[in-house]
Amino acid sequence: MRKIFMIAALLMFGPANAHAEGNPVRGADQYKEECADCHSVVPGKNKKGPSLHGVVGRTPARVEGFEYSDPMKANATPWTPERLDAYITAPKKVVPHGIMKFDGMENAADRADVIAYLRTLGGS
């Protein structure tokens, strides 16, 4: 009976914990699909949006050569994984009146994967 309980607990809680960390390989694919049209990962290469190289841990609105909106300039909370998760979920809730045209990513596992990928690009 104990074995069955342990297996059930692993099935219930194991996958959620795995997604919390994210998979950077899946995240790279998700990034290409959802983010790459507007954001580069090359340092100093901006597109419609700023380069996301080194975004994890960075203070918002700090990429050289990119003109940020006033609401984003007023956003001083560093881009921690938790903050990025909230922003990727619903950008306009985190930075009201921001100009990013992305409505958000509903799937928590996809967000965790994208953040895991972004963590491989430098930053803290």
Tokens of residue 122, six digits: 């430098």
Supply the pTM of this predicted model. 0.81
Cβ count within 10 A of residue 84: 21
Average pLDDT, the chain: 86
* Token duo for residue 8: 């059930």
pLDDT of 59 > 60? The answer is yes
| CATH 1.10.760.10 is the classification of domain 2-119 | yes
> DSSP 3-state assignment of 59?
coil
Averaged pLDDT, 59-81 = 95
To 5 degrees, how large is the angle CA 11–CA 13–CA 15? 70
Q: What is the pLDDT of residue 2?
A: 41
Which pLDDT does position 122 carry in this prediction?
85
Domains of the chain, residue spans: 2-119
Tell me the average pLDDT across 58-70. Answer: 96
